[in-house]
Structures are given as structure tokens and as C-alpha cells.
Amino acid sequence: MRRILLTFLFALSLMAVLPQRMSAAANIEIIDNDFQQITVTVTSAGALHVTGANGYVLQVYNVLGVRVASIKVEGNDKRIDLPLKSGCYIVKVGNVVRKISINR
């Protein structure tokens, strides 16, 4: 008797859970976002070439974490000359972070 009662309660609990999961799955909407690619490269002259970052703020940090430059990028294809000494720097534009090396 106990086994039959437990089987019945288990089946009843499964019937109560399954329709809720099915209705939750039907409410999922997939949103396809077209993310803009931001690229940061260093030219041979030591300038930064930034593409796809129109309206973003470019921030340059030294290896100690001190911000040495902050520039608003105007245009999708921008060349930025910075008076940086030779060394390694961290460049952040939007959610893109790159490590660069300047050799002068």
C-alpha cells in the first residue's frame, strides 16, 4: 500500500512540474545582437590605430595600473598619436582590453 501511494505521489508531482517547464520554455525569445568589432593595433611609429570604437573612451594604463591617457574616439577609423615612452601598456576601449608594447 505504501509503495502504491509513493508511486502515485511521485507521478502526481511529475505531472505538476512538466507543464510549468513547457510553458517557461515557450516564453524564451532569442535575441541576435550584432556586436561591433573594436580593434586596437600599434603602428610602427608607436601610434594607436583604433577601428569600430566611435563614441567610446580610449584609456591607456601603464603596468602599475596608473592611467596615463584618456581620449574620446571620434570616428570609426582613428589613428591616435600618444606621447608614450617605451614599455608595456594596457589599452581599454569599451569592453575590449589589449596589452600593447611601445618601442621607440
Give CA–CA dist 101/79, Å, rounded.
16
Lowest model confidence (mean pLDDT) among 4-13, 51-60, 81-90: 4-13
Cell 581620449 belongs to which residue? 71
In this prediction, residue 30 carries a pLDDT of: 58
CATH number of the domain residue 37 falls in: 2.60.40
Instruction: Give residue-wise pLDDT tens across range 57-88.
Output: 999 999 999 999 999 999 999 999 988 899 99
How many structural domains compose the chain?
A: 1
For residue 57 the three cell numbers come to: 573612451
**DSSP string spanning 22-86?**
HHHHHT-------PPP-EEEE-TTS-EEEES-TTPEEEEEETTS-EEEEEE--SSEEEE---PPS
In this prediction, residue 45 carries a pLDDT of: 85
Q: Where in the sequence is the domain holding 72, given as residue range(s)?
A: 1-102
Cell 541576435 belongs to which residue? 32
